[in-house]
């Protein structure tokens, strides 16, 4: 079995790291100190051997061979690509609603897609009032949030000065299928790492987030947050969001990373840059976090002052359905809620609450109205 050096350098342990809204209710920085949350950095090595078990079989099944690929396949120009990756540093006010779960100082990667525009994953800059962009040349440039989209998870940052680097071209993420060869690179990395796509299955997150066709890759890397996913021509096809425990569709327990496809950005890019958000009605937001527990969809957390809390929903409640329609899992729950109408729609939630079945009507809102508006938008 051949395991590449890059795999060992960039592989991550087998545990999920939360994305836009971590599953912890605790404040990682209750004192208001300046601890920096480096998303995708410094993962513990525990479980790494277990994560790599059976790796040769998975790589072979996907047609992935690092040694052979280096000799026979196309790969991006590392020098050109690395020049378009930046470090994103964001400072969050102490009273921001996400400060407790995501931290007040955040750091990750971003990709230059315009003369003064950086694309990143939105949770890095959500509610930020100060953003600094560090370029590969060592320039530190002040920036602000240009746009944020909760439905996709993308964030756009605009710098006050030109970035003086060539932007990466947006590729076609729709043609990236299982077993496609792709490459990733994050901030401060000199070269790309070759990956293989192991699935395009749906992903649902506890923070009322659903992607129907994200890009799951293997092996897992530990510099994922805001990193670039590239096709063999060096075109941008995804932005790094998460490390996940179960990336594949044909076998369980395969760790990997989740990238948000760039084709989700293309229809809304101009709107985000012009208005800070997409046009049209927003999705209804309830302020409820759920997890599957022993086959039940259990409420694990409600947003303080959010619609669900106001309607009397709390941790430990079990979601049975939306109105009279039962829900099978978290993704089904979101789809049922969103099909009822836009933000502002009254959503009837069928619950098992302290042993009693009841229907609670939640007056949904636009999530953007609940969050502190970041500087720049």
270-291, pLDDT tens digit by residue?
A: 999 999 999 999 999 999 999 9
Nearest Cα residue to 165 out of 138, 125, 194, 189: 138
Angstrom distance (rounded) from CA 275 to CA 314: 35
Cis, peptide link before residue 95, omega less than 30° from 0: no
Tell me the percentage of the chain whose pLDDT exceeds 90.
Answer: 77
Supply the pLDDT for residue 59: 53
Residue pair 303/25 in contact (Cβ under 8 Å)? The answer is no
DSSP state of 124: G
Residue pair 272/147 in contact (Cβ under 8 Å)? The answer is yes
Question: Which pLDDT tens digit goes with each residue over 30-82?
Answer: 223 344 656 664 443 334 434 444 455 555 554 544 444 443 458 899 999 99
- Supply φ then ψ for residue 70, to 5 degrees: -65, -25
pLDDT above 90 for 6: no
Cis, peptide link before residue 219, omega less than 30° from 0: yes
Mean pLDDT of 147-155: 97
Angstrom distance (rounded) from CA 223 to CA 18: 14
Residue pair 88/109 in contact (Cβ under 8 Å)? The answer is yes
pLDDT above 60 for 125: yes
Angstrom distance (rounded) from CA 111 to CA 85: 5
Residue pair 102/124 in contact (Cβ under 8 Å)? The answer is no
Question: Which pLDDT tens digit goes with each residue over 201-249?
Answer: 999 999 999 999 999 999 999 999 999 999 999 999 999 999 999 999 9
Nearest Cα residue to 97 out of 317, 369, 310: 369
């Amino acid at each position: 079995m051949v395991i590449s050096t890059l795999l060992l350098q960039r592989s991550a342990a087998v545990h999920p790291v939360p994305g836009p809204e971590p599953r912890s209710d605790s404040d990682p920085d209750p004192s208001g100190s300046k601890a920096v949350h480096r998303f995708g950095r410094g993962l513990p090595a525990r479980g790494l051997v277990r994560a790599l078990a059976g790796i040769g079989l998975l790589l072979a099944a996907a047609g992935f061979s690092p040694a052979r690929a280096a000799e026979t396949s196309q790969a991006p120009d590392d020098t050109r690509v690395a020049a378009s990756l930046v470090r994103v540093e964001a400072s969050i006010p102490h009273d921001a609603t996400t400060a407790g779960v995501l931290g007040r100082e955040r750091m990750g990667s971003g990709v230059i897609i315009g003369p003064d525009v950086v694309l990143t994953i939105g949770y890095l800059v959500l509610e930020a009032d100060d953003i600094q962009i560090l370029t590969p040349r060592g320039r530190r440039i002040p920036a602000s949030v240009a746009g944020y989209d909760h439905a996709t998870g993308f964030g756009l940052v605009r710098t006050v000065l030109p970035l003086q680097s060539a932007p990466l071209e947006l590729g076609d993420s729709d043609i990236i299928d299982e077993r496609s060869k792709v490459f990733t690179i994050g901030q401060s990395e000199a070269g790309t790492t070759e990956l293989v796509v192991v699935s395009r299955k749906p992903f649902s997150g506890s923070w009322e987030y659903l992607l129907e066709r994200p890009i799951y890759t293997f092996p897992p890397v530990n510099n994922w947050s805001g990193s670039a996913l590239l096709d063999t021509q060096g075109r941008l096809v995804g932005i790094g969001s998460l490390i996940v425990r179960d990336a594949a569709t044909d076998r369980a327990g395969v760790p990997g990373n989740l990238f948000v496809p760039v084709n989700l950005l293309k229809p809304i890019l101009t709107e985000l840059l012009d208005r800070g958000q997409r046009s049209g009605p927003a999705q209804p937001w309830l302020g409820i976090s759920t997890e599957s527990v022993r086959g039940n969809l259990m409420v694990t957390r409600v947003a303080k002052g959010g619609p669900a809390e106001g309607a009397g929903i709390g941790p430990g409640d079990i979601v049975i359905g939306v109105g009279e329609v039962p829900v099978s899992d978290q993704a089904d729950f979101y789809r049922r809620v969103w099909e009822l109408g836009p933000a502002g729609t009254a959503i009837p939630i069928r619950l098992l609450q302290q042993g009693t079945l009841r229907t609670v009507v939640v007056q949904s809102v636009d999530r953007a109205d609940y969050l502190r508006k970041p500087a720049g938008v």
